[in-house]
Amino acid sequence: MNVADIRREYARAGLSEEDLAADPVEQFRLWLDQAMAVDPMEFTAMTLATADREGRPSARVVLLKGFDERGFVFFTNYESDKARALIENPRAALVFYWSALDRQVRIEGPVEKTSREESEAYFGSRPRGSRLGAWASPQSRPVDGRREIERLLEDAAGRFAEGDIPLPDFWGGFRVRHETVEFWQGRPNRLHDRLRYARLAGGGWRVERLAP
């Protein structure tokens, strides 16, 4: 297979400045609802890009767990590779790609940890097995095979055999505080629509069209 020969045309309606909401969070909410309608299982999947203190980049797919005017939230083990990079270099980029709609959204900005209360509220909503898994997994660290992971899960299940499973001190959320949000709509001839919100120093947003 020659991947250079794989092409498809984008033939959906365009995106104009007049179509946009005044605020990027409201525009994102509209697109997210439309993405959910066509892919109700994976519409919250997003690529998270980070860089450590030496500038070495890394990317992986995580799930969006909340968003509002403060930013976009995901949760992880604070001792994982992504968390260590964010602690060293607290900026990140997010990318949503909804192929069924020929759309992507790019978000960039500084990162902060969510409050303990926010992390506890989300952790308490997870299935019991997922909460046990958070205690069991030394995320991003080498292990001696699958059996070791299963043993760690068994240990966690025995430790919390009765009662609630509390939030680990090493687990919680990060919030990407959006400074720019770009909405990308695929168009014919690769002349895509790209409209970017950029936060103004005095508050509010500037919308600019970018060349495709």
Neighbour-count burial for 104-126, b at 16+ CB within 10 Å, e otherwise: bbbbbbebebbeeebbeebbeeb
Residues ≥6 apart with Cβ < 8 Å to 176: 71, 72, 73, 92, 94, 107, 108, 109, 110, 111
* Calpha distance 72→49 (Å, rounded): 14
Residue type (1 letter), 112: E
What is the pairing mode between strands 57-63 and 91-98?
unpaired
Answer yes or no: are the C-beta atoms of 103 and 185 closer than 8 Å: yes
CA-to-CA separations, 10 to 37, 39, 129, 194, in angstroms, rounded: 20, 19, 41, 14
3-state SS track over 8-46: CCCCCCCCCHHHCCCCHHHHHHHHHHHHHHHCCCCCCEE
Catalytic site residue from 141, 190, 206, 209: 190
- Residue 12 annotated in active site: no
**SS3 label, residue 116:** helix
Q: Which two tokens mark 134?
A: 């958070």
| Catalytic positions, written as ranges | 190
